[in-house]
Amino acid sequence: MKKLLGAMMCFVLTGTALAQENPLQQKLAQIGLTQVKLSPTPIKGLQVASTERGIFYVSEDGEYLIDGKMYQLTSQGAVNLTNQVLMQKLNAFAKEMIVFPAKNEKYVVNVFLDTSCYYCHLMFAQTEKYNELGITVRYLAFPARSGIHSESAQQMEAIWTAENPNYALQQAENEKIYPSQLKQPKVVKAQYLLGEQFGVRGTPAIVTASGELLNGYIKPDALLHMLEMEQREKNSH
């Protein structure tokens, strides 16, 4: 309920509600949920509301709102439908991520990273090792320690929007050389909000291809083992 209460508080503080064409969107705007994308769910009369504050489920009559994950029970096991929606949003950021691809790719992970985070430094230093094990790493910005309005967030914006983002991130992580020109967070803000929707509270935070969130630094061999276990579990259903 925290993200819902946050949305309501944001609405109370700003006193604004954006006009929406859809009556259901208008009702959600009344509690501070704006910029809502609605789509159907397998349950008749229930729609998924994808918002900047996370994924919600709302009845088509606008009377009920559900904050939580939805699973579909199939012969292959429980399928996390909420994660599927979030992964669609995450993959839409593909061109804005800083990607270090594996030559013999077996797995892809998405890592929310803060350039001022010690354990993020540890993880980034192992990027080549992850790649050698067949793990492609896609980095997203998440200024967890100082927030989106900090100088750190502006530095990260300059890195993620640099002419050569991979080199800029390597400079920042390996040699502590940051861009001299700071930029107002736009790309970083969008990625930060996405991380919040996944439930990221600290960094590094790893999101697997299935949408599962793994918190903290995980050594290359251990991460490979976890990804293999996830794949075996998926194949066994």
Q: Please confirm, yes or no, whether 145 is among the known catalytic residues.
A: yes
Count the Cβ atoms, other than its own, within 10 Å of residue 212: 14
Catalytic residue among 53, 67, 145, 232: 145
Give the end-to-end CA distance of the chain in Å, rounded to a whole number. Answer: 32
Catalytic residue among 53, 120, 138, 221: 120
Task: Pick the closest to residue 110 from 124, 126, 119, 97 (CA basis).
Answer: 97
Catalytic residue among 117, 201, 221, 232: 117
Q: Residues for the chain: how many in total?
A: 237
Catalytic residue among 53, 61, 114, 221: 114
Q: Please confirm, yes or no, whether 67 is among the known catalytic residues.
A: no
Q: How many CA atoms lie within 13 A of 203 on its CB side?
A: 26
Residue numbers annotated as active site: 114, 117, 120, 145
